[in-house]
Structure 1
Amino acid sequence: MVSYSVEVSGSDPRTVTCGEDQRLLDAFLRSGVYLPNSCNQGTCGTCKVKVLSGSVDQPAPSETVVSADDQAAGHVLACQSTPTSDVRIEVPLDAGTGPRHVLRDLCGTVHEIRELADDTVALAVGIDEPLDFSAGQYIEFRVPGTGDVRQYSMANPPSRSDRLEFHIRRVAGGRATDGWIFDSLQHGHPIEMRGPWGDFVHDRDVDAPMILLAGGTGLAPLKSIALEALSADPEREIHLYHGVRHSRDLYDVDFWESVTRRHSGVRYVPCLSREDGADRRGYVGDALVEDFDSLRGHVAYLCGPPAMVDAGVRACKRRRMPGRNIHREKYTPAAVTREWGAESVPA
C-alpha cells in the first residue's frame, strides 16, 4: 500500500504517515495527533487546513464551507482530503487544542435496545476494550450492507467506557434507522464502529454554572457532560432545558427528575413547542431568556437541530454570556454516502 508523509508546520511540527486512500484527518487522529474536527462530513469547515506543499485529492467543497478565495489559496478540508504526494499543511493559529484520544475501529455487540419515546430508542453497545473519549464526543456506525456511516453521540460518561449508550430517533425512510436499527437490529448483533470524533466536549477545567440546551436526541451528549460534571462535583449548578415538539417525544424524564432529587444544584426544564403538558410551552431559548436576567459567569453547551442551536446561542448572548463560553453541536441530516473502507486503516 502506498503511503505519504504529512507534516503540520509551525512551532510544534508534527508528522504522520497517511495512506493514499486515507483522509488526512483520519491519519492524524489515529496517530493521536489533534486536528480540529466536528462534523466529519465536509459541511462545517472546522477541519480546514492550508496545503503549503505537495498535493491532495478531495471532492469540490461547497463555497459556503471553503470560499473560492480560500480554495485558490490552497485550503482544503482534512476530513475529505487524501494525499497524492508527501504533504506539508498549516493549521489555523486559533485552532487551539482539543481531545487527543486515538481514533479506533471498534466492533461492538448490542446489549440492549430500549424504547425511550415515540420513535426514539436507547441503544446500549458493549465493546471488548474500553474506549478513551471525552464527554460530548460521538461514534460512527457502519450501516451493514452499504458504504454508509451514521454518527451518534455517547450518552454515557467516559467513566463507563466499556458499554456505550446512544439515543437514536427514527428518520422516515432512513437507511440506518428505518432500514436497520428500527427494523432488524437485535440483542447480540454486532456493530462496526469508529471513533471517537468531535470537538464538542466538556471543558473539565471550567467549574462555572452550566446551561445545557438540548433539542430532541441532542440530549445524549449533554447527559454525558452533565454526569461527568456531577461525578467531579455533586453540588455543581446545572440548568438543563430539553426541547421537543410533543409530550410523546420527551424521554428520560424520570431519570432527570431523580437526578434533581439527588443533586440540589440540578434543575431540569422540559419544553414543548407544539402543545401544553410540560414545564414550559415554547422553545428552550425563550425559556432560558425568561429565567435569567444575566448569564455572565456561566458556561453553555447546546446540541440539537441547527435552528434550535442558533436560537439558543442568540439567547445566551442576549443574556450577556461571552461567545467563548458557548459550546455548540448541530445535528444535521446525513451526508451523501461515504465509503467506510476508504479511510479505515485496520489496527
Structure 2
Amino acid sequence: MAGGQITIKETGERFLQSHVDGSILRAALRAGIGFPYECSSGGCGSCRFKPVEGDFSDLSLDPGGLSERDKRKGFRLACQSSAVGDVTISVTTRREFEPKHRFNRFAARLTALRDLTPDMREFTFVGPKAAMFLPGQYAILEGPANQTRCYSMSNLPNDQGNWQFIIKRVVTGEFSNWLFGLEIGEALTIDGPVGLAHIVEASQRDVICIAGGSGLAPIISIARALASDPAHAAKQIHIFYGGRTPADLCGEGHLNEFPCWGERLRFHSVVSDQAAADAAGWTGETGFVHESVIRQFGEKVKDHEIYFAGPPPMATALQSALMLEMKVPFEQIHFDRFF
C-alpha cells in the first residue's frame, strides 16, 4: 500500500505520506517541508530527488520532467512518486519553498458558472473554511479515477471560502471536459494552495502582467490584489492579454470596477491572428503578446516586476524576450512552469 514515513537524508527531516496525499511532494508540502517544485504535474523536473532506501511506486509512467540522463542516474519526481512503506530520499530543501499558507485537502461545492469566451469558463467553488492563498498561486483539483490537474485561482483570499478558477476547455482534454460537465451543487476535491509566482510584497517597482489563454486566472488575481491594497497604491499596473482572435479575449470585466481603472490600472488586449482580427474589424494591437510588451516599454521593461502565465510556447517566447534580449534580471520575472 502506498504511504509511509519519508526521511530526507541531508536534513534528517521526517514526514508521513498517507494514502490521501497522492504523492511524496504533496505529503511534504502538507508537512510544511521546503521541497523544491514548480508545476506539481511532472513537466518541469524541479521536484527531482534521488532514492536512497526503500520502495517507490510511479504515478506516471514517463513524466516529461526527467531527462534520459536523470533516468539513468536513478532520479525520480516527487510529484509523480509515492512511497511504498518507509523510505529515505536525497533532496536539497530550501526555505523559499516552504508553504506560506497551510496546504489543505478538502471538498468544495460548485456554486456558480460564468462563460467568458466560447471555450473558457469561470468556476466558483465554496469550501468549508476561509480560502487562504497568495494571489498568483494555484491549486490541485482532483477528478474521477484519481486524475488531477493544476489550475490557478482568479479571485482573492477570502473568509467566505470561495475558490474561483478560469479554465479553458480542451477538445481532447478528458479532465477539462469533465469539469465543463459539472453542474451547480456538485463537488470535487481541492488540494492547495501551491505555487511560487505570487506577488513580491517588498518590491516597489511598477508591474507588468502578461497572460495568454487560461493563464489569465493568476494574472487577474495578482492585478486585483495590487489594485485593492493601499500598500501598492503608488504602482502602475499594466495587464497584457493575448488571444488568437477577438472572440478569445476577456478579463477587463474582472478589473474595470476598481477606482484606479484607466489611471494606474490598464488592460491591453492583443490578437495574434491578423486574418481573424481583420475579419472582425479589430482595431487594437495585433501580433504576439510579448512583442506588444516590448514595443510599448522597450528598455524600460527592466524597471518593472513582471508576472506571466500562459501556454508553453508563450512562456518560452517571453523568457527569451525578457531575459536574453531585454536583459531583465531573473529575480524580477515570476512564473510557474506548466506543461
Corresponding residue number in structure 2 for 1:202: 199
Alignment of 1:221-232 (within 5 A): 221-230=218-227, 231=229, 232=231
Whether the 8 Å contact between 2:34 and 2:95 is mirrored in structure 1 is no
Percent identity (aligned) = 27
State the TM-score, normalized to the length of structure 2: 0.85
Whether the 8 Å contact between 1:20 and 1:83 is mirrored in structure 2 is no
**Which residue of 213, 216, 231 maps to 1:216?**
213
**Secondary structure at the counterpart of residue 335 of structure 2:** strand
- Cα deviation code 1:214-247 (max 9, x no counterpart): 0011010111122223313123222210000111
Report the Cα offset of residue 76 of structure 1. Answer: 1.5
What is the number of residues matched between the two proteins? 328
Alignment of 1:306-321 (within 5 A): 306-317=312-323, 318-321=325-328
Partners of 1:175 and 1:39 in 2: how far apart?
19
Whether the 8 Å contact between 1:270 and 1:278 is mirrored in structure 2 is no
Quote the RMSD (CA, aligned, Å): 2.7
Please identify which structure carries the higher helix content: 2
- The alpha-carbon distance between structure 1 residues 278 and 305, as it changes in their structure 2 partners (threshold 3 A), is farther
- The alpha-carbon distance between structure 1 residues 57 and 190, as it changes in their structure 2 partners (threshold 3 A), is closer
- The amino acid of 2:293's aligned partner reads L
**Which residue of 277, 290, 293 maps to 1:288?**
293
Partners of 1:140 and 1:130 in 2: how far apart?
17
Corresponding residue number in structure 1 for 2:26: 26
The answer to whether residue 269 in structure 2 is matched with residue 270 in structure 1 is yes
Corresponding residue number in structure 2 for 1:152: 151
Q: Which ranges of structure 1 fall in alignment gaps of 5 or more residues?
A: 333-347
The answer to whether residue 191 in structure 2 is matched with residue 171 in structure 1 is no
Corresponding residue number in structure 2 for 1:303: 309
Corresponding residue number in structure 1 for 2:77: 77
State the TM-score, normalized to the length of structure 1: 0.84
- The alpha-carbon distance between structure 1 residues 64 and 30, as it changes in their structure 2 partners (threshold 3 A), is closer
Report the Cα offset of residue 64 of structure 1. Answer: 5.9
Partners of 2:38 and 2:126 in 1: how far apart?
25
Corresponding residue number in structure 2 for 1:254: 253
Pick which of 101-110 and 82-91 moved more.
Answer: 82-91
- The alpha-carbon distance between structure 1 residues 61 and 214, as it changes in their structure 2 partners (threshold 3 A), is same
**Which residue of 314, 326, 330 maps to 1:323?**
330
Whether the 8 Å contact between 1:292 and 1:319 is mirrored in structure 2 is no
Whether the 8 Å contact between 1:309 and 1:329 is mirrored in structure 2 is no
Corresponding residue number in structure 2 for 1:335: none
Partners of 2:160 and 2:13 in 1: how far apart?
29
